[in-house]
Chains A and B, each alone.
Chain A
Amino acid sequence: QQQVKQSPQSLIVQKGGIPIINCAYENTAFDYFPWYQQFPGKGPALLIAIRPDVSEKKEGRFTISFNKSAKQFSLHIMDSQPGDSATYFCAASRGGSYIPTFGRGTSLIVHP
């Protein structure tokens, strides 16, 4: 049973575009929603994270939008650059649990 559903599986945009990656979760006990970024040949690394008490969080060109009632959250990349080309994973976890649930990942390609 997949508790965090991520879409799309792959995404291609032009430089300057705004790719959007969506995730939906089922477990209402989740209270921490991170996004990880993985470059080819590297391990994933935390990019940005949000808690359900806010609807939006921005860090540089990266924004998480969170909709608690719909149990959905999304990653927006403003003014995307070729260097943003990577695989992005959403995840969800709940307080006291040390095992996050990951989405299946989105491969993003940003063309110059």
Chain B
Amino acid sequence: DAGITQSPRHKVTETGTPVTLRCHQTENHRYMYWYRQDPGHGLRLIHYSYGVKDTDKGEVSDGYSVSRSKTEDFLLTLESATSSQTSVYFCASLRDSKSETQYFGPGTRLLVL
């Protein structure tokens, strides 16, 4: 599972507050991803990183930002949480460009009231 951990695992917050989710991997994988999972929508890519300080937007990036200052850590920030961002967030990693299997973390369940 590439030793991927996510924190926190559960969070309840209020509309308008900033929230940061953390993903940590121990396998020195180059690529990291943030997805959100919602019923009927499957996994949707929010942002991804292809190296330290190298990130790009996915299909549902509005309202989210990311940072990757170290290979092992990839942070997802909800700048001002909204109820539509209530979801389960998954981090994933991929070893390198020749790899094909993504490894997923256990997920963070976020509730925005």
Decide yes or no whether A49 CB sits under 8 A from chain B.
yes
Contact A99 B43 (CB under 8 A): no
Interface flag for B45 (CB, 8 Å): yes
- Judge whether A15 is part of the interface by a CB distance below 8 angstroms: no
Q: How far is the CB of B54 from chain A (nearest CB, A)?
A: 12
- Chain B interface size, as a band, is 20 to 34
B100 touches A105 (CB 8 A): no
Tell whether, in the assembled complex, residue B48 and residue A102 are in contact, meaning their CB atoms are under 8 Å apart: no
A103 touches B50 (CB 8 A): no
Do B1 and A98 touch (CB < 8 A)? no
Question: Quick check: B1 and A45 within 8 Å, CB to CB?
Answer: yes
User: How far, in whole Å, are A36 and B35 apart by their CA atoms in the complex?
Assistant: 14
Q: Which residues of A contact B40 (CB under 8 A)?
A: 9, 104
Q: Is the interface of A mostly helix, strand, loop or mixed?
A: loop
Complex contacts, B48 vs chain A, CB 8 Å:
98-99
A96 sits at the interface (CB 8 A): yes
Is A102 in contact with B42, judged by CB distance below 8 angstroms? yes
A43–B90 CA distance with the chains assembled, in angstroms: 7
A44 to B81, CA, bound (A): 25
Closest to A104 in B: B42
B102 interface residue (CB < 8 Å to A):
yes
Within 8 A of B (CB), among A64-112: 89, 93, 96, 98-100, 102-105
**15 A-B Cβ contacts within 8 A?**
A34-B100, A36-B104, A41-B106, A42-B106, A43-B1, A49-B100, A98-B31, A98-B50, A98-B94, A98-B97, A99-B58, A100-B102, A102-B42, A102-B43, A104-B41
A residues apposed to B, CB below 8 Å: 6, 9, 32, 34, 36, 41-46, 49, 89, 93, 96, 98-100, 102-105
